[in-house]
Structure 1
């Protein structure tokens, strides 16, 4: 008995013969159907299914000039990506959005000491068909890197120039809502713990807090910089208490920072919410498990990511390019910290 011969994958030539068309027609039918009659397209589709033909991605990319890959760009270190609920939700949302497609997800994150240079080089090198960018900072050059590349930002870029598309929650309205809730609770020395000053979302959340306090005739002079982390929130709260022990309300620009702030307040003997009311921003799981449970502003990250992916895919597939940002409405989620 002769040894069994290994099965070979069907070739494009075999598909063309089976379909009764030329090789070039078969190639065009498989790679998008441009200038192919409906009859020829149907014949090629049937031959592909019958033979079990799988297109060669490398060869296909030469024809279509497409890589079949989408980048999710998060210019933060890997530890931050895994620990931050917003960034973890961004990754989940992107994976879900691309699941029905044949597109490959490429995750680009920062390495310590490399800033964003490596990411910028990769995006400019033609390795992906488009990009979704989250956690954008001023000076990371990503707005420049994606010029000419279909791209959508999650969160308002630091400088939202014309032609830059983004999907976001209404951070100004949300932070104003948070501060107004503290005012309604009778609080009069209301501080804020901000996000990084080089991020558009952080700017917007400070703006809303300040607008609410000004409208209520209260001083908006108590703010401390944070970095959207638990430790950053704790350090900022320590700074605020040292400057003004009479603080009776805190709006933290993320739930992680609010959790850190509450731990410092409780260590200092300040009860939440009896002595100090606290409102966060995100509602991505942590808020419901703090003690007391945290009143916060919902940040619909997974919905935003799916919307951004839809906008990007519409552009890539020629269904039209969005021309304006997409803003989700802010929503206050009441719990026990106010």
Structure 2
């Protein structure tokens, strides 16, 4: 196209009204998943931008491929289901564009900027992460997966983690659970904070003032250890919300060892809807986050050089047997 497409043209291409397209692009969660996907596919296909990307960043970024920078230890890249789902979806989009995908890890505290080419998807950056700060001012085309830490001005694509916590809390309240405890993820990670905040604020509004919290690192082992701590400090608990499915699986294991039945004695809710959620015993009630869709949309927006659009995708409570 010789001229930048308008919002009305994007809406027409997506088969929605301009008002609906506007709601999608301003991050409203009150839009269906299929409509959201149609709008973002039209945005990336047509090269629509609300603010023009820095000179040269679109063509050079797309031509040189995508580097996914994961702020985590290397072994976690191969053991955390979230990363596998995200990388598979990112790789599929990159392949569609005829370019290539590179993946690198940096420690959660590393200040060393790795050798990068092309555009960057930044994953797992925590508060005060020096690499996130460097990338913010580097001139490299970057999009963060998740809300950026400490309000850095980075384009991002996220899910509504806070609303996911709210949905979990409301389900527990509706099923009569009042002694609710939580296993939070790393407090320095915005997504982990949002999930816990959504849960705790909803419970407090319902009159549940005391919500014991233990913290883990999204691994099953940390979920087990956190549950053991909770059982010592809140032995009367009747529900546990865990900020990841792996931690929820660890919680179920610890509860079983302690002689607590799930869900008869203690309900358990996870977060992710990873494949593991269907294989736990009992099958895990969890908050589904659309990992593949987040990765697909983020990668398309990154490769098209689109800025000024920070999609926030909805989460959904999936009720199974554990709660």
TM-score between both structures, scaled by the size of structure 2: 0.78
Aligned partner of residue 140 in structure 2, secondary structure: coil
Q: Which has the higher contact order (CA 8 A, sep 6+)?
A: 2
- 1:150 has 2:144 as partner: no
Q: Tell me, in whole angstroms, the C-alpha distance in 2 between the residues paired with 1:65 and 1:208.
A: 40
Provide Cα deviations, 1:262-311, integer angstroms capped at 9, x if missing partner. 10001100000000001100002011100000000001111100100011
| Partner residue in 1 for 2:170 | 180
Of residues 257, 265, 276, the one that matches 2:247 is 257
Q: Tell me, in whole angstroms, the C-alpha distance in 1 between the residues paired with 2:255 and 2:67.
A: 41
User: In the superposition, relative to structure 1, how do residues 187 and 116 fare at CA in structure 2: closer, same or farther (>3 Å)?
Assistant: same
Structure 1 residue 245: Cα displacement: 0.7
User: In the superposition, relative to structure 1, how do residues 204 and 65 fare at CA in structure 2: closer, same or farther (>3 Å)?
Assistant: closer
Gaps of 5+ in 2: 1-58
Q: 8 Å contact 1:131–1:152 — kept in the other structure?
A: yes
Structure 1 residue 65: Cα displacement: 6.1
Structure 1 residue 205: Cα displacement: 0.7
Alignment of 1:181-196 (within 5 A): 181-196=171-186
Structure 1 residue 115: Cα displacement: 4.1
Larger radius of gyration: 1
Q: Tell me, in whole angstroms, the C-alpha distance in 2 between the residues paired with 1:139 and 1:207.
A: 20
Q: Tell me, in whole angstroms, the C-alpha distance in 2 between the residues paired with 1:246 and 1:270.
A: 11
Q: Tell me, in whole angstroms, the C-alpha distance in 1 between the residues paired with 2:60 and 2:169.
A: 50
Q: 8 Å contact 2:179–2:211 — kept in the other structure?
A: no
Q: Tell me, in whole angstroms, the C-alpha distance in 1 between the residues paired with 2:114 and 2:240.
A: 41
Aligned partner of residue 117 in structure 1, secondary structure: coil
Q: 8 Å contact 2:120–2:143 — kept in the other structure?
A: yes
Aligned partner of residue 174 in structure 1, secondary structure: helix
Aligned partner of residue 151 in structure 2, secondary structure: coil
Gaps of 5+ in 1: 1-63, 316-320
Runs of 4+ deviating beyond 3 Å: 64-67
| Partner residue in 1 for 2:309 | 324
Q: Tell me, in whole angstroms, the C-alpha distance in 2 between the residues paired with 1:169 and 1:265.
A: 30
Provide Cα deviations, 1:198-249, integer angstroms capped at 9, x if missing partner. 1000110111011111111002430001111101111110110010110001
| Partner residue in 2 for 1:314 | 304
Q: Which moved more, 1:98-107 or 1:198-207?
A: 98-107
Q: Tell me, in whole angstroms, the C-alpha distance in 2 between the residues paired with 1:167 and 1:141.
A: 20
- 1:104 has 2:79 as partner: no
| Partner residue in 1 for 2:33 | none
